[in-house]
Amino acid sequence: MTKQEKANFIRKKLAKLYPNPTPPLNFSNPFTLLIAVLLSAQCTDERVNIVTKDLFKQAKTPKKMLSLGEKKVLEIIKSCGLAPKKSKAIIQTSKILIEQHKSKVPDNFTDLEKLPGVGHKTASVVLNQAFGYPAFAVDTHIHRLAQRWGLSNGKSVEQTERDLKFLFPKKDWGNLHLQIIFYGREYCAAKDCYGLKCKICKALYPKRRSKVITNKA
């Protein structure tokens, strides 16, 4: 198969497995999505949803979040990884949104990536899921599977994103972001398949016998 043929096969397979993928993080507006994604770094989606259930009861806007204060936010999110750093970023981000963006979450990469704790991946998720912008956020699962499936060389997350955007239709980027993550967690985990066991890996590389060692994100 050519690289494009592989991408076409993968897209169709994932569409059958996950026809209507929904975001795993709970949110009710662009701000709560931004905070949830910020919290998800080095933390499971399940844990984030537990934490934000309490956090968002008390604060769903930048003004209310700022009024909670860093100590209170830390107390609520302390079971998340990097909680002290994240609580500080949440308060700083809330303040910036109030002072510079009229309490609105920006709908562009430039302003989003200037916010504390917000990198390109977080900005991509927010732009796609909150505003419908065609972004392709690449996390560790996507970076790993793109290499196992021969869609990218894994040189960098940025390169993986460019390669996937070139191979897949723009209209499918948002769904594929979720579908590949779900597939990676369910069938092609980091310490399980190694490019040898799951149905997609076996279909793409039926003669593969050696484990695929992937570059980390």
Alpha helices in 40-156 (DSSP H): 45-58, 62-68, 70-77, 83-101, 109-112, 120-131, 140-148
CB distance 74 to 83 below 8 Å: yes
The DSSP output letter for 149 is T
User: How many C-alpha atoms does 18 have within 13 Å on its Cβ side?
Assistant: 22
CB distance 176 to 186 below 8 Å: no
* Lookup: tokens for 60: 């769903």
Would you say the C-alpha torsion 178, 184, 190, 196 has a positive or negative sign? negative
Q: How far apart are CA 142 and CA 178, in angstroms?
A: 9
Question: Could you give the residue numbers annotated as active site?
Answer: 121, 139
